[in-house]
Structure 1
C-alpha cells in the first residue's frame, strides 16, 4: 500500500490518499482510499487513467495517475 499526496486540481487542496494494488477482472488496477474510507478503482489503459467503479472528476484522476506513475510501472500483484 502506498500513501500518495495530490493537489486537488479544482480547489487546490492537498489530498492524502492510500493506493493499494488490486486485480480488477484480470487487469492491474489501484484501489484509491480516501481519508473518509471511501474507495474506487482506477486502471491505466493506453496511457490514460480511468475510474472503473465510480464517477470522479477526470482532472483528479489525472493527478492521482501522475502520483502513481513511479509505482504503477514496476508493481507486481503476484
Structure 2
C-alpha cells in the first residue's frame, strides 16, 4: 500500500500562468495625458498642424474611452 506522500503515486500539478499586469487598454490614458500638452508646446509655430494633430489625438482618446465604457456596460448587461 502506497503512502499519500509517495511521489510516484501523485498526479502532476498543472500550473497556469496568470497575467498579473493590467491590460494595455487601461494604460493608454497614461500615454494620452502627456502627449496632448507636448503637441501644443512642440508645434507652437505651426498652428494648422498643431490644431489638427491635437484634435485627432483628442478624438482618438474619446473614442477609446467610449470603447472601454461600452465594454463595461456590455459585461454588466449579461
Asked which structure has the greater CA Rg, the reply is 2
Bigger helix share: 2
| TM-score normalised according to structure 1 size | 0.28
Select the structure that is richer in strand. Answer: 1
If asked which structure has higher relative contact order (CA below 8 Å, sep 6+), I would say 1
**TM-score, with structure 2 as normaliser:** 0.28
